[in-house]
Structure 1
Amino acid sequence: MITAHTSVPEVLAALKDVSYPADRERLVTAARAAGASDEVVRALRGIPAERYAGRDEVARSVRVDPGPEPGRTAAPRAVRARKGGKPGLAQHLWEEPKTPIHEEFDR
């Protein structure tokens, strides 16, 4: 499990010169170029390998403290946090059911 003992403001400070959208590897490279600590780089390596539209998405995805869910990596927890899932709930329980109108649009 990737555990980083840093803070979200430290991570965002290391990414102050990044232009978005950016993927995880670009964020890690930019943080290293800015002289970020190993803990900040470790926190960025723990986010999902996706494209991030801005600093807010990075802030919601970065995992800076060890989670209460042993045996799971930080990346799935970050995805769940960004998409609104609650810890300890199965995915089918935190996805909102489609309304009849949305079902009609999907046809």
Structure 2
Amino acid sequence: MTAHTTLDEIFAALDAVDFPAGKEELLETAQRAGASGEVVRALQEIPAEEYGSREDIARSVRLDPDSDIPRTAGEKGEQARQGGKPGLSQHLRDVPKPPVDEELER
């Protein structure tokens, strides 16, 4: 399940955290900062590990595909070629049938 929040909201809620920090410390800090339910849910879903930086958190948190995760032009181009949103399973993407399949259905 993905959270409908942004990295900026998560980082704002964790502004007072001292790294390295464990998952429980991150959750407690976010709750003390009055983080939204979505931010708390995103942090609840990360692995119970020690996080050394904001970048470690960004790699672990699962966000909505339309979130603010920065992507390079190459990554955006790859997404455009493949279709779908980042993280969308291949079997969920609309893919045109190969001409052979279309011919066999006639």
Does the TM-score normalized on the shorter chain lie above 0.5? yes
Equivalent in the alignment of 1:44 = 43
- Pair 1:68-2:88 in alignment: yes
Partner letter of residue 23 of structure 2? R
Structure number with bigger Rg: 2
Q: Deviation of residue 53 (structure 1)?
A: 0.5
Partner SS for 2:28: helix
**Deviation digits for residues 8-43 of structure 1, max 9, x if unmatched?**
111011000000110111101100000000000000
What is the aligned length? 68
Give identity over the alignment, percent. 56
Q: Which runs of 5+ in 1 are unaligned?
A: 70-107
| Structure 2: 5+ residue stretches without partners | 66-86, 90-106
Deviation string, structure 1 residues 33-86 (Cα, Å, up to 9, x no partner)? 0000000000001111100011111112111126535xxxxxxxxxxxxxxxxx
Instruction: Please give the root-mean-square deviation of Cα atoms over the aligned residues, in Å.
Output: 1.3
CA distance in structure 1 between the aligned counterparts of 2:55 and 2:17, rounded to whole angstroms: 13
CA distance in 2 between partners of 1:52 and 1:45 (Å): 14
Tell me if the contact between 1:12 and 1:59 (Cα under 8 Å) persists in the aligned partners.
Answer: no
The runs of at least 4 consecutive aligned structure 1 residues that moved more than 2 Å come to 66-69
Cα distance in 2 for partners of 1:47, 1:5 equals 14
Q: Residue 14 of structure 1 aligns with which residue?
A: 13
Q: Which residue does the alignment assign to 2:84? A: none
